Amino acid sequence: MTTPEVGGEPPAPPDPATRRRLARHAVRRAALNITVLVTLYYVLPLRGAWDLAAILLLVVGLLAFAVLAGWQLRSILRSRYPAVRAIEALALSIPLFLILFASTYFLLSRTGTGVFTEPMNRTDALYFTVTVFATVGFGDIAPHSQSVRIITMVQMLADLLVLGLLIRTVFSAIEQGRRRQTAPPQTPAPAPAPAPETRQP
């Protein structure tokens, strides 16, 4: 699918069969993205057992997340079907965001006892990350050391940005993409008529 050129004819709205096909494609892509990210989380060797490795992973991961979010917003604006592209973007960005913090918590839990209220494996770290993201807070796992509490507060603030700014920006990009597609083509202004020639007496 190609994006129509600016100033050309706007694309016709998809028929119901095309909408269903696009929705199925978006759901499959979203499920594939989530499956790949979760599989990598459990398979990749997270062997660093010191604070600096976890903090470095978090900083680099957040920078990569910001770059990815910016690229996805541009792709939504340029997409022929921005709503479908937005579903795929959110299905990649949010799981990546959660797995990034889960990996950080898992590495920090390996630095020694007393980091969390109980030892954590990868599933526990992912569970704790999701409870913080969803603002559930069961209390069964809680940060105990000062460094982990600071990182947890960073996630809480980042959660507000992801849930508020990112999702709002995505839907704004959808609306801008739709307005760009439905805008009437720009017609060139008529050339001015030539001035009448005057003869010298």
What are the φ/ψ torsions at residue 143 (nearest 5 degrees)?
-70, 140
Instruction: State the CB neighbour count (10 A cutoff) for residue 63.
Output: 10
Structure tokens at 95: 């799981």
d(CA 142, CA 153): 12
Domains, the chain, ordered by start: 49-182 (1.10.287.70)
Position 87 confidence tier, pLDDT thresholds 50, 70, 90: confident
pLDDT tens string 133-143: 988 877 788 88
Angle between helices 51-78 and 82-109 (to 10 degrees): 180
The pLDDT of residue 121 is above 60: yes
Structure tokens at 128: 């704790």
d(CA 96, CA 98): 5
Nearest to 75 by CA among 64, 67, 186: 67
pLDDT tens string 25-68: 888 888 998 899 999 999 988 765 556 767 777 888 888 888 88
- Provide CB contacts within 8 A for 58, sequence distance 6+: 100, 101, 104, 151, 154
Work out the end-to-end distance of the chain between its first and last CA atoms, rounded to an integer number of angstroms: 66
CB contact at 8 A, 26 and 87 = yes
Q: Position of tokens 């209390």? A: 139
The pLDDT of residue 1 is above 50: no
